[in-house]
C-alpha cells in the first residue's frame, strides 16, 4: 500500500540542479527557523525536542503523538503528504524534516541521492528483534517471495553515509520498519456470489465493466503482472523488475482488456477505491486493507480476498536525514526506540497493519486481540479499532488468516524498476488507449 | 533637482507599471523560463542535471511518425483533450450566451438582475471536487438517474455510459465552466446601447436578425474572453477528466502530473512547454478573429 489521500500537488522544482535546491532549501529552512523564533517566542517550534515527522497521513496518528509526548516529552510535528511527495521532499528539501516514514521501495532512489544516513543498529534497542521479514526475508524460517524491492535487499548500508546497499547484515540500517502489510484484491462477495481464488479473475470477462485497477503506475503494473501470470499468459522472472519486452506485453494485455471494456474506472486514492466498491460500480479491484475496512464499516460486505498466487507486499520505515545532529538526533533515536517498544506496535496491529517487533507489541495487546489479529483465530469478543469503533463482532475471522499464513504467502513487493521511466511512459499509453 | 524631477515625470508611467511588472516577472516569467530551461535537461530517478538534450521532446513524441497511421500516445491524448475543449466550448457558449441574453435583455430591474446573477454563482459556493463527486450518486450504475429510467420502463438495463464516460466528462465541464462564459458575455451585452436594438426593431429587423446582426457582433469581445477562459482551463484540466472519466481517459495534465510524481521533472517540463505552445496557438487564432484591444 502506498496510501495517498490527496492528489499530488504538481509542484515543480524549477530550474535548479539538485545542489542549488539543497542549498536554497537550507537557507530557506534557516530563515523559517529564525522567523519561527522571532514570531512566536513562546512556541517550542525551535526546541530540540520537537521532531518534524514527514510521512503519509495514514501512519500519522494523533494518539501516537500524544503518547510520545507523555512518555518521552518529545513533541511530534506531523508533516502529512502523499507517498510520491515523501520521496520528492527527501530529494529536493532534505532539511525540511527530522525523521521520515518512507516506503522501502523508494530507497532505490533515495539512497543514491545521499540525503539519508544509515541508522546505527547499536543505538536501536530492539534491532535484533525486528521481524525476520525484513532482515532475512523469512517468516518462521520459511523464505518468502522476494520479487521487487524486498526490504531485505535494501535493509543494510555498507557504511553510515554509503550510497550502496550491503548484501549481508551491517551496523547501518536504512529504515527501521514502522508498518507493513500484504495487499490483495478486494471483492464484493454479495455481488459476485462465487468463490474467487486467483488473481486472473481481475481480467476475467465475467466481470466486464465491473473491475478496477490502481492508477499508480508502479503499483498498478504489479497487480496487472500478478493477474497476467495467474492467467498463464507470461511467467515473469521478476515482476518488480520487468524487462522492456515484459513491460510491453503487460501494457498490451491491459490495453486489450481496457478496449474490451473490462474496467469501470481506475482509482488513485483511498477514497476513490472505497466509493467505487461501496457504490457497486466495481465488484473486484486492487485494494488496500483499510479501504476494505472502510467499505465494511458502511455495512456493505467486502472481502480482502486471499488468492492462491499470494500477496503483493509493502513496507515502510523510519529514516533520518543526513544533516540531523545533536539533541535532535538523540531525540530521533529515542522516538524510534519508543516506537518499537510495544505501545505503538499494538496500536498499529489493531488497525490491521503489522508492527516491526512483534514480542513487544504482544505485551500491549489483550490475548483475544492477539489471537484475532495475529493468530487468525475467531474473535472471542467484539474487536474494536484503536478509536473504540466496532470493527468485527465476536466469532469473525481475519481475511487471510494468521500473520504466518499472510506474510508467508507474499509473492512480490512494491518496487521501483530499472526501466521505471519507460514503464511510466507505457502506462500513460495504457491510460490514453 | 530639476533634472531629477524631469526624469521622474518622463518615466512616470514606467514607475507606475513597475510593481506589476516585477510581480509578473518574478512569479510568472521567471518560473516559465525555468520550466523551458529544465525541459532540455537530463534526469535520473533522483537528480536532474543541467544539459542541452532534446530527448525529453523526442520521448514525448515517441513513435509518432513510425506508428502512423495509428496515432501515438501524445497525439491521441491531445486529440482527446481537444475534443473536450471543442465540445465544452460549444456547449458553454450556447448556454452561456442564452443565459446572458436573458439576464441582459429580458430581466427589467437591476435588483432582479443581481439576484439572478447571484443564483448563477451558487455552484461556486462549494469546491470544484465536491461539485464533481456529487454527480456520482446521480449518474452511477445504481444512481438516481438509472433508477428513474428503470422504473419508468425506458430502459431494461442500467445505463453505464452515464458515468465514467466522455458524456459525464463533458457534462461536468459544462456545469463547472458555463459561468465563465456568462460573465464576460453579460458584461458586453450590458454595454450595448439599447437605442441600437430599438433602431433595428424600427427598421423592421426580426428578433433573429437583431440577434445575429446587432447583438452578436457587439458581444464578440465577451465571447472571445469567455472562450479564452474556457479553453485554457479545459486544456490544462486533469482533475475533472480524472474523476468523471474514471481515470480511463487521458489528459495532458495527467501525463504531466504522473511524470512529476515520478520525479521526471525535465520530461514534465517538456510536456508543459508543448501544452503551453498549443494553448498559445489556439489563443492567437482566437485573437486573430477578434481584436480584443480594439473592441474593449
Least Cα distance to B74 among B86, B84, B59, B88 occurs for B59
Q: How far is CA A370 from CA A354, A366, A380, B113, in A?
A: 11, 6, 11, 67
- Least confident among A293-297, A317-321, A368-372, B252-256: A293-297
Whether A427 contacts chain B with CB within 8 A: yes
Whether A188 contacts chain B with CB within 8 A: no
DSSP state of B218: H
Whether A6 contacts chain B with CB within 8 A: no
Residues of chain B found within 8 Å of residue A88, distances taken between Cβ atoms: 261, 263
Report the residue from A14, A209, A215 with minimal CB separation from B31.
A14
- Least confident among A46-50, A156-160, B83-87: A46-50
Q: Which listed CATH number (3.60.60.10, 3.30.450.20, 1.10.3720.10, 1.20.120.1200) goes with B82-295?
A: 1.10.3720.10
Which value, to the nearest 10 degrees, does the dihedral of the CA atoms of residues B287, B291, B292, B296 take? -170
- Domain extents for chain B? 82-295
Domains annotated on chain A, with CATH: 19-182+315-361 (3.40.190.10), 185-309+407-432 (3.40.190.10), 366-401 (no CATH)
Report the residue from B140, B249, B261 with minimal CB separation from A84.
B261
What number is the average pLDDT over the span A171-191?
A: 94
- Average pLDDT score over chain A: 86
Residue pair A316/A177 in contact (Cβ under 8 Å)? The answer is yes
Please state, in angstroms and rounded to a whole number, the distance separating the CA atoms of residues B122 and B178: 12
Under the banding of pLDDT at 50, 70 and 90, the label for residue B122 is confident
Please state, in angstroms and rounded to a whole number, the distance separating the CA atoms of residues A223 and A235: 14
Pairing of strands A119-120, A172-173: antiparallel
SS3 A277: helix
Please state, in angstroms and rounded to a whole number, the distance separating the CA atoms of residues B114 and A373: 61
The pLDDT tens digits of the residues spanning A141-177 come to: 899 999 999 999 999 999 999 999 998 899 999 999 9
The pLDDT tens digits of the residues spanning B192-235 come to: 998 999 999 999 988 899 999 999 999 998 999 999 999 999 99
Q: Can the peptide bond before residue B193 be classed as cis, meaning omega within 30 degrees of 0? A: no
Cell of A135: 532482515
Report the residue from B45, B73, B250 with minimal CB separation from A420.
B45
More confident: A10 or A111:
A111
Residues of chain B found within 8 Å of residue A7, distances taken between Cβ atoms: 239, 257
With CB atoms and an 8 Å threshold, state whether A428 touches B73.
yes
As beta bridge partners, residue A410 has A311
Whether B254 contacts chain A with CB within 8 A: yes
Residue B191 has φ and ψ, to the nearest 5°, of: -85, -10
With CB atoms and an 8 Å threshold, state whether A268 touches B247.
yes
Q: How far is CA B272 from CA B37, B231, B250, B275, B278, in A?
A: 12, 16, 15, 5, 10
Cell of B87: 465540445
Cell of A180: 507493513
What number is the average pLDDT over the span A64-91?
A: 90
Please state, in angstroms and rounded to a whole number, the distance separating the CA atoms of residues B169 and B176: 11
What number is the average pLDDT over the span A216-227?
A: 92
Closest approach of B228 to chain A, Cα-based (Å): 23
pLDDT at A381: 92
Least Cα distance to B188 among B143, B152, B225, B160 occurs for B225
Q: What is the ipTM of this complex?
A: 0.77
The pLDDT tens digits of the residues spanning B4-46 come to: 888 888 888 888 899 999 999 999 999 999 999 999 999 887 7
pLDDT at B123: 74
pLDDT at B129: 77
- Average pLDDT score over chain B: 88
Does B63 have pLDDT greater than 80? no
Residues of chain A found within 8 Å of residue B45, distances taken between Cβ atoms: 108-109, 112, 416, 420-421
pLDDT at A9: 37
Does A17 have pLDDT greater than 60? no
Please state, in angstroms and rounded to a whole number, the distance separating the CA atoms of residues A182 and A406: 7
Residues of chain B found within 8 Å of residue A264, distances taken between Cβ atoms: 160, 164, 246
- Which secondary-structure segment (H or E) carries B271? helix B265-289
Report the residue from A110, A279, A425 with minimal CB separation from B59.
A425
Does B77 have pLDDT greater than 60? yes
- Least confident among A56-70, A358-372, B65-79, B155-169: B65-79
Q: Which residue of B has its CA nearest to A84?
A: B261
DSSP letter for each residue of B92-129: HHHHHHHHHHIIIII--SHHHHHHHHHHHTGGGGS-HH
With CB atoms and an 8 Å threshold, state whether B255 touches A18.
no
Whether A401 contacts chain B with CB within 8 A: no
Amino acid at each position: 500500500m502506498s496510501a495517498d489521500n490527496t492528489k499530488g500537488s504538481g509542484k515543480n522544482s524549477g530550474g535548479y540542479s539538485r545542489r542549488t535546491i539543497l542549498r536554497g532549501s537550507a537557507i530557506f529552512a534557516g530563515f523559517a527557523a529564525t522567523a519561527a523564533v522571532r514570531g512566536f517566542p513562546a512556541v517550542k517550534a525551535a526546541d530540540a525536542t520537537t521532531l518534524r515527522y514527514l510521512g503519509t497521513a495514514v501512519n500519522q496518528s494523533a494518539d501516537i503523538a500524544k503518547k510520545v509526548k507523555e512518555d518521552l516529552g518529545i513533541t511530534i510535528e506531523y508533516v502529512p503528504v502523499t507517498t510520491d511527495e515523501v520521496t520528492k521532499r527527501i530529494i529536493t528539501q532534505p532539511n525540511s524534516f527530522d525523521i521520515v516514514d518512507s516506503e522501502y521501495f523508494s530507497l532505490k532512489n533515495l539512497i543514491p541521492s545521499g540525503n539519508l544516513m544509515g541508522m546505527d543498529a547499536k543505538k536501536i534497542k530492539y534491532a535484533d528483534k525486528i521481524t525476520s521479514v525484513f532482515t532475512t526475508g523469512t517468516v518462521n524460517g520459511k523464505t518468502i517471495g522476494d520479487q521487487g524491492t524486498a526490504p531485505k535487499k535494501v535493509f543494510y548500508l555498507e557504511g553510515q553515509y554509503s550510497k550502496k546497499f550491503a548484501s549481508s547484515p551491517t551496523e547501518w540500517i536504512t529504515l527501521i520498519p514502522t508498518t507493513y502489510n500484504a495487499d490483495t484484491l478486494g471483492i464484493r462477495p454479495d455481488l459476485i456470489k462465487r468463490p474467487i481464488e486467483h488473481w486472473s479473475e481481475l481480467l476475467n470477462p465475467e466481470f466486464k465493466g465491473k473491475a478496477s485497477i490502481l492508477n499508480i503506475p508502479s503499483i498498478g503494473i504489479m497487480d496487472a503482472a500478478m493477474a497476467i501470470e495467474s492467467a498463464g499468459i507470461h511467467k515473469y522472472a521478476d515482476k518488480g523488475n520487468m524487462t522492456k519486452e515484459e513491460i510491453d506485453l503487460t501494457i498490451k494485455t491491459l490495453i486489450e482488456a481496457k478496449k474490451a471494456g473490462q474496467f469501470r474506472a481506475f482509482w488513485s486514492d483511498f477514497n476513490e477505491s472505497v466509493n467505487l466498491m461501496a457504490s457497486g460500480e466495481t465488484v473486484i479491484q486492487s485494494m488496500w486493507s483499510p479501504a476494505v475496512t472502510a467499505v465494511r464499516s458502511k455495512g456493505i460486505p467486502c472481502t480482502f480476498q486471499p488468492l492462491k498466487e499470494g500477496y503483493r507486499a509493502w513496507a515502510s520505515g523510519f529514516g533520518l536525514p543526513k544533516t540531523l545532529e545533536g539533541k535532535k538526533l538523540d531525540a530521533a533515536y529515542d522516538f524510534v526506540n519508543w516506537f518499537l517498544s510495544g505501545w505503538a506496535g499494538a496500536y498499529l496491529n489493531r488497525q490491521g497493519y503489522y508492527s516491526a517487533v512483534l514480542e513487544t507489541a504482544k505485551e500491549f495487546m489483550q490475548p483475544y486481540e492477539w489471537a484475532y489479529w495475529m493468530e487468525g483465530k475467531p474473535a472471542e469478543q467484539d474487536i474494536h479499532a484503536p478509536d473504540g469503533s466496532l470493527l468485527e463482532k465476536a466469532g469473525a475471522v481475519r481475511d487471510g488468516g494468521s500473520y504466518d499464513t499472510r506474510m508467508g504467502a507474499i509473492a512480490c513487493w512494491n518496487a521501483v524498476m530499472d526501466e521505471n521511466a519507460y514503464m511510466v511512459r507505457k502506462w500513460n499509453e495504457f491510460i490514453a488507449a | 533637482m530639476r533634472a531629477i524631477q524631469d526624469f521622474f515625470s518622463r518615466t512616470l508611467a514606467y514607475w507606475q507599471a513597475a510593481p506589476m511588472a516585477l510581480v509578473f516577472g518574478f512569479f510568472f516569467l521567471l518560473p516559465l523560463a525555468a520550466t523551458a530551461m529544465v525541459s532540455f535537461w537530463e534526469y535520473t530517478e533522483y537528480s536532474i542535471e543541467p544539459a542541452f538534450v532534446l530527448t525529453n521532446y523526442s520521448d514525448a513524441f515517441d513513435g509518432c511518425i513510425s506508428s502512423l497511421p495509428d496515432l501515438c500516445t501524445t497525439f491521441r491524448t491531445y486529440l482527446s483533450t481537444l475534443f473536450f475543449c471543442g465540445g465544452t466550448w460549444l456547449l458553454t457558449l450556447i448556454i452561456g450566451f442564452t443565459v446572458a441574453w436573458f439576464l441582459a435583455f429580458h430581466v427589467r430591474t437591476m435588483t432582479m438582475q443581481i439576484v439572478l446573477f447571484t443564483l448563477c454563482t451558487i455552484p461556486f459556493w462549494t469546491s470544484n471536487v465536491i461539485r464533481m463527486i456529487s454527480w456520482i450518486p446521480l449518474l452511477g450504475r445504481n444512481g438516481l438517474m438509472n433508477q428513474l429510467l428503470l422504473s419508468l420502463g425506458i430502459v431494461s438495463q442500467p445505463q453505464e455510459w452515464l458515468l465514467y464516460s466522455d458524456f459525464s466528462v463533458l457534462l461536468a465541464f459544462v456545469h463547472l465552466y458555463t459561468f465563465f462564459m456568462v460573465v464576460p458575455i453579460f458584461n458586453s451585452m450590458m454595454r450595448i446601447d439599447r437605442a441600437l436594438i430599438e433602431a433595428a426593431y424600427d427598421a423592421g429587423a426580426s428578433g433573429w436578425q437583431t440577434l445575429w446582426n446587432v447583438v452578436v457582433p457587439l458581444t464578440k469581445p465577451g465571447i472571445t474572453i469567455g472562450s479564452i477562459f474556457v479553453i485554457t482551463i479545459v486544456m490544462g484540466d486533469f482533475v475533472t477528466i480524472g474523476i468523471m472519466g474514471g481515470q480511463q481517459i487521458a489528459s495532458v495534465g495527467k501525463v504531466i502530473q504522473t511524470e512529476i510524481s515520478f520525479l521526471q521533472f525535465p520530461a514534465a517540463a517538456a510536456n508543459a512547454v508543448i501544452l503551453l505552445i498549443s494553448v498559445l496557438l489556439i489563443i492567437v487564432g482566437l485573437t486573430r478573429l477578434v481584436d480584443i484591444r480594439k473592441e474593449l
